[in-house]
Amino acid sequence: MRRRMKMTALFAASALCLLSGCKQKKVVLDNEQFLNFTAPEVGEEIAVFHIKDYGDVKIKLFEEQSPKGVENFKGLIQNGYYDELIFHRVSKDMVIQTGDPKGDGTGGEDLWKDGGFEQTIDPGLRNLTGAVGYAVGSDHMNGSQFYIVTGETVTEETFELLSQYGKEYSGKTEEMYIQYGGQPYFDGGYEVFGQVFEGMDICLEIQNVDVVREKPKKSIVIEKAEIVPYDGSGVHWLNAAGEEQNQGNENK
């Protein structure tokens, strides 16, 4: 089963058709409680990906909002599943994607090896810059492949386009996307279960490598992935332009 993201910001209208089948059903995607930029507590388990020649990417995990998704992710990491895998897809201003042992976007399996598991989509977790979510195929089942949103600048025009396809945002949701950037087109279609809180600069650097059909010409390798207790070190939230933003636990 191919597990590539089906959307591109360059063709937003087509992307929305893929999510909704071009139906004009109205979907209101608004929420005043945002969890993406909640810092981990000292001692809380986080995921750390050591990227060869780049450095460490640290991810806050949302176990309460995505229980099976986080269990799957942690289990695969602890089994060494992601070690030595490549980022097989790099789509500038959208996502970087990994988690496929085949390295071409067609492979991967969940922790239980039962063909994947159903999505749990929490409204408090959005596809803002730095969001970590499962990449799914036509079956909409989660497996091992995941993406990190590198994102693009979001404007009022973005939401006008979304509204034409029945997806409406308002209030805090729009403010957060305009501040941070991201891919609001993904909301409602993919399970977000984590957020990069350190090393987002590395993700933004990776999105600029030379690619052929979205696959890096030079392999970008995960040397090792680990689940470790958070030690209280720095938290750096970045927007799509790589600018650091002040945001913290007030969005709990």
Pick the range with the lowest mean pLDDT from 127-131, 160-164, 214-218: 160-164
pLDDT for residue 13: 40
Mean pLDDT for the chain overall:
88
Span 15-33, average pLDDT: 49
Span 66-92, average pLDDT: 98
Under 8 Å between Cβ of 193 and 69: yes
Span 32-58, average pLDDT: 95
Span 12-32, average pLDDT: 46
pLDDT for residue 29: 59
**CA 19/CA 200 separation, integer angstroms:** 27
Q: Answer whether residue 193 shows pLDDT above 90.
A: yes
What are φ and ψ of residue 175, in 5° steps?
Answer: -60, -45
What separation, in Å, do the N-terminal and C-terminal C-alpha atoms of the chain show? 36
pLDDT for residue 170: 72
DSSP-based three-state secondary structure for 132: strand
The CATH T-level fold of domain 46-235 is: Cyclophilin (2.40.100)
pTM of the entire predicted model: 0.90
**CA 39/CA 215 separation, integer angstroms:** 32
